[in-house]
Amino acid sequence: MKQKRGNVDVESGVFFTVTGLVTMLLSIHYSFGSAARMGPGFFPIILSAMLTVLGLAILVSGLRDRNPVAPAPFDVKSVVIICTAVVLFGLLLMRAGLLITVPLTVFVASFAQHEMKWKQTLVIALALTAFTWLVFIAGLDLRIPLLPRFV
The 10 Å Cβ neighbour count of residue 2 is 4
Please list the residues that pair with 38 across neighbouring strands. 33
- Mean pLDDT confidence for 75-102: 94
Structural domain boundaries of the chain?
8-64, 76-139
Please give the model's pTM, rounded to 2 decimal places: 0.62
The 10 Å Cβ neighbour count of residue 35 is 7
d(CA 12, CA 56): 10
What is the rounded (10 degree) CA torsion for 139, 87, 42, 142?
Answer: -20
The pLDDT-based confidence of 150 (bands split at 50, 70, 90) is: low
- Summarize pLDDT for 17-51 with one digit per residue, the tens: 999 999 999 998 988 888 788 888 888 999 999 99
d(CA 59, CA 25): 20
Please list the residues that pair with 33 across neighbouring strands. 38
- Summarize pLDDT for 8-17 with one digit per residue, the tens: 888 899 999 9
CB 146 within 8 A of CB 137: yes
